[in-house]
């Protein structure tokens, strides 16, 4: 009888011990005792192999461990870049805004502005662009305008920055895109017979943007819209403006550019 009781007690103790061991088992943080330089090396390795999601927590730990040092600032910038590459623009922008707020005099401010610009620039239009053939001008332009402001600040504050030439090229593309967007909307209205709306939108391009390709089509939309409304004087005036500014315009010869459909013909 004693042997049975002793066996039961021993079994109970073993089970309790195993249960306690199981409850106390927690994941081991292998980075806890790593130096900042070692953390940064591991984060760079993850980034080099495209493992952006794995790099982010390493950079966050590095930022905390190296707080107040240039390495912590570099960790913030690298984390923003990792978020950008991982298609997490909101997190990238939040990280960059925090960096610029905390380090307004940082020597890396030009890079921060450049990264903020390209994060909102989104020149690849997402993974579906190759299927939809969607042009940047057909998308919402809020991000394009924010991107332009970042590049503009970069060029103004750091004209000698290594990022300034590329920023200027992207600014030119954005300006053309914004102008083309107004033309795209004007064309949309024209196709639906909303000629006054088409005129108003096309005039925005003419008034707000100079020396951009979209101006030619904007003037043509104004001309064709007045023609559709039966306003002969305004039609002739707008046609003269088009002829003066674009004497060799394909719109005047064909009514559209080569290799495009004559969108103004509704039939």
The answer to whether 99 and 80 have CB atoms below 8 angstroms apart is: yes
The answer to whether 243 and 252 have CB atoms below 8 angstroms apart is: yes
Report CA-CA distances (Å) from 39 to 52, 63, 91: 15, 10, 21
SS3 183: helix
Over residues 172-204, the pLDDT tens digits come to 999 998 898 899 999 999 999 999 999 999 999
Does the structure show a pLDDT above 50 at 145?
yes
Does the structure show a pLDDT above 70 at 20?
no
pLDDT average, residue stretch 8-27: 50
Choose which CATH entry (3.30.2350.10, 1.10.3720.10, 1.25.40.10, 3.40.50.300) describes domain 41-169. Answer: 1.25.40.10
Question: What pLDDT does residue 116 have?
Answer: 96
Over residues 132-141, the pLDDT tens digits come to 344 544 556 7
Does the structure show a pLDDT above 80 at 147?
yes
Over residues 85-135, the pLDDT tens digits come to 999 999 999 999 999 999 999 999 999 999 999 999 864 444 334 333 445
| Cα–Cα distance measured from residue 138 to residue 147, given in angstroms and rounded to the nearest whole number | 16
Does the structure show a pLDDT above 70 at 255?
no
How many percent of the chain have pLDDT more than 70?
77
Report CA-CA distances (Å) from 101 to 73, 88, 159: 12, 20, 21
Does the structure show a pLDDT above 90 at 25?
no
Return mean pLDDT, the chain: 83
Quick one: which of 216, 212, 228, 213 has its CA closest to 266? 228
Token pair 């040092």 is found at: 69
Over residues 34-67, the pLDDT tens digits come to 899 999 999 999 999 999 999 999 999 999 999 9
With cut-offs at 50, 70 and 90, classify the pLDDT of residue 32.
Answer: confident
With cut-offs at 50, 70 and 90, classify the pLDDT of residue 216.
Answer: very high
């Amino acid at each position: 009888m004693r042997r049975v009781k002793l066996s039961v007690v021993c079994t109970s103790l073993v089970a309790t011990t195993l249960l306690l061991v199981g409850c106390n088992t927690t994941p081991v943080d292998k980075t806890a005792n790593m130096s900042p330089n070692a953390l940064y090396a591991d984060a760079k390795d993850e980034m080099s192999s495209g493992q952006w999601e794995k790099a982010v927590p390493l950079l966050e730990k590095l930022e905390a461990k190296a707080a107040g040092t240039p390495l912590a600032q570099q960790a913030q910038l690298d984390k923003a870049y990792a978020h950008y590459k991982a298609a997490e623009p909101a997190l990238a922008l939040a990280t960059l805004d925090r960096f610029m707020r905390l380090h307004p005099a940082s020597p890396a401010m030009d890079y921060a502005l450049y990264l903020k610009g390209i994060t909102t620039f989104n020149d690849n239009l997402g993974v579906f662009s190759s299927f939809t053939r969607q042009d940047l001008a057909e998308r919402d332009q809020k991000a394009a305008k924010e991107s332009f402001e970042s590049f503009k600040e970069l060029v103004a504050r750091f004209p000698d920055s290594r990022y300034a030439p590329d920023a200027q090229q992207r600014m030119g593309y954005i300006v053309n895109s914004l102008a083309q967007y107004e033309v795209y909307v004007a064309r949309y209205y024209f196709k639906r017979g909303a000629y006054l709306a088409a005129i108003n939108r096309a005039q925005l391009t003419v008034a707000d943007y100079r020396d951009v390709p979209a101006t030619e089509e904007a003037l043509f939309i104004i001309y064709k819209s007045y023609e559709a409304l039966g306003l002969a004087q305004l039609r002739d005036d707008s046609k003269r403006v088009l002829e003066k500014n674009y004497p060799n315009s394909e719109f005047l010869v064909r009514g559209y550019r080569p290799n495009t459909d004559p969108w103004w013909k509704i039939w």
